Every structure is written in C-alpha cells, then in structure tokens.
Chain A
Amino acid sequence: MRPELNEIHLIDQWLLQKLPEAEAQAVETRLLLDEAFAERVEAQRICHQLIHHYARRQERFRLEAIYRQLMNEAGFAHQLNTIFT
C-alpha cells in the first residue's frame, strides 16, 4: 500500500484499539507533537462516527419497513389493535 494508506491503516488500528501498547503509545506521542497528524486522526474519527450514524439510520429504515410489512398482515395488526383499544 502507498504510505498514505499505511497511515490510514495505523490510525484505524489505533481508533479501534487494536494496536499493541508500544505502537499505541507511539501514536499518542505523535498526536501531541504533530498537529497535521492529529488533524488527520480527528477527521478519521469523525469518519467512523459518520459511518456508524449512516448505518444506524439504514437499520432504522429497515425496522420501519418491517413494521409496515407486519402491520399489513391482518393477524398481526389485529393483535396490536386489540392491545391498544
């Protein structure tokens, strides 16, 4: 892999807490000394958050679709309507 991708791999391993202790400490030291590196780490952390939010929204849409599908089944809808009447 080219150096930029190797660094992305390293940051990823650190963010996912998969680095051995010595390597993690080296990343943490670099975070203090290298501002540009710290900024790349922060941007990558936001990427992880965004992926998580995106995926969770997708799953919520899926659950809403399942709800609508089941509410179209007479037996399931009747069961729920009975509970709430």
Chain B
Amino acid sequence: MTTPMEDPIIQLYRDSFPDVARMIRRKGGTLEEAKDAFHDALLIYMEKEKAGRLQLHSSPKAYLLGTARICWLRAREATVALPEAFDAAEPADAGMEEREQSLRASLVSSGKKCLELLKAFYYDHCSMQDIAARFGFNGTRSATVQKYKCLEKVRKEIKTNKAYAP
C-alpha cells in the first residue's frame, strides 16, 4: 500500500521491482539476481537524476526495466567467464579490495560531518546554499571553506596511507 508521504525511491521500488523480477525470472534468473540487477539499475537512475543527466524517453519504470536487463546480462556474462579467468583474477581483486578498504579508512577518519558534507556536494550534487542550510553554516562561503578543509584533511590522510602509491 502506498502512503501519501512515501519516499519517491520506495514508491519507485514498489512499483517497478515486481516487473523487473518477472522479466529476470522469464530469462531464468533468481530473485537474488533480480534484486542485484534492479539495485544496479536504480543506482544508475538515481545518480543520473542527481547529476541532472537523466534522459527519459518513457516512464521511470521502463527505464529501470531496460537498464536492469542490461545489468543482469552483464553480471551473467561475468559469472560465465569467471572459471577461466578465476585463478588470475582472484589475487588482484583481493589486493585491490584491501587497498580500497585501507584508503576508505582515510576518508572515514575525516569525521562523520565531513563525510556527509563531501557526499552532499560531490555525489548528491546539492547546491552550496542547500549544504549551508542543512549543515548549519552562516552562508555559502563558510560552507565552501569547510568543504575544502574537509577535502584537505582527507587528502593529507590519503598521502600518509601505506596503500597510497602515486
């Protein structure tokens, strides 16, 4: 049941996922695969919408169906290709994941407020006016200065991280 104040993403999820699941099922996929493909498609949709680059030629549901189909096919191709490449790919992937985890710790050490501020600007594409209001700054200038201070902090942390090799 849809409530009037429901988050638009939850609404979109509720309206679109059963159709995506049905499509993946018809192609021989599982519920887990349908969910993964749908989440990939929804992330693409959300990121494009935030960046103002979403071009819809039909409904959001049709966009998600088409994108989820491509995501599922790609994931399936990758799984099928895995046995041959598995031995070679495993150590490199593990190393990359370890490096990313270590660098992510540098980001987290900048503090919750910095992380959220940086996410709001660089990922959510919020305006500096919105950021100033949301994070309680006096104005856009203070918010901008704080954003660069946060970035400076993360950059310093990264440069002292053993996983960082320029």
A residues lining the B interface (CB < 8 Å): 1, 4-5, 8-9, 12, 38-40, 42-44, 46-48, 50-56, 58-60, 62-64, 66-67, 69-70, 73, 75-76, 79-80, 83-84
Contact between A8 and B148, CB atoms less than 8 A apart:
yes
Complex CA–CA separation, A75 to B15 (angstroms)? 12
Complex CA–CA separation, A78 to B22 (angstroms)? 13
Complex CA–CA separation, A76 to B31 (angstroms)? 13
Complex CA–CA separation, A55 to B108 (angstroms)? 12
Report which residue of B35, B43, B46, B152 has the largest number of chain A beta carbons within 10 angstroms of its beta carbon.
B152
Report B-chain residues with C-beta under 8 Å of the C-beta of A76.
14, 18
Interface residues of B in 107-154 (CB under 8 A from A): 107-108, 115, 118-119, 122-124, 144-145, 148-149, 151-152, 154
Contact between A47 and B158, CB atoms less than 8 A apart:
yes
Determine how close the nearest CB of chain A comes to the CB of B129; give it in whole angstroms.
18
Given contact pairs A5-B152, A56-B47, A76-B14, enumerate 14 new A-B contacts (beta carbons under 8 Å): A5-B149, A39-B159, A43-B155, A43-B164, A47-B107, A47-B155, A52-B123, A53-B104, A56-B43, A70-B17, A76-B18, A80-B31, A83-B25, A83-B31
Complex CA–CA separation, A46 to B160 (angstroms)? 13
Report B-chain residues with C-beta under 8 Å of the C-beta of A56.
43, 47, 123
Of A43, A51, A69, the contact of B119 (CB 8 Å cutoff) = A51
Contact between B123 and A55, CB atoms less than 8 A apart:
yes
Determine how close the nearest CB of chain A comes to the CB of B94; give it in whole angstroms.
17
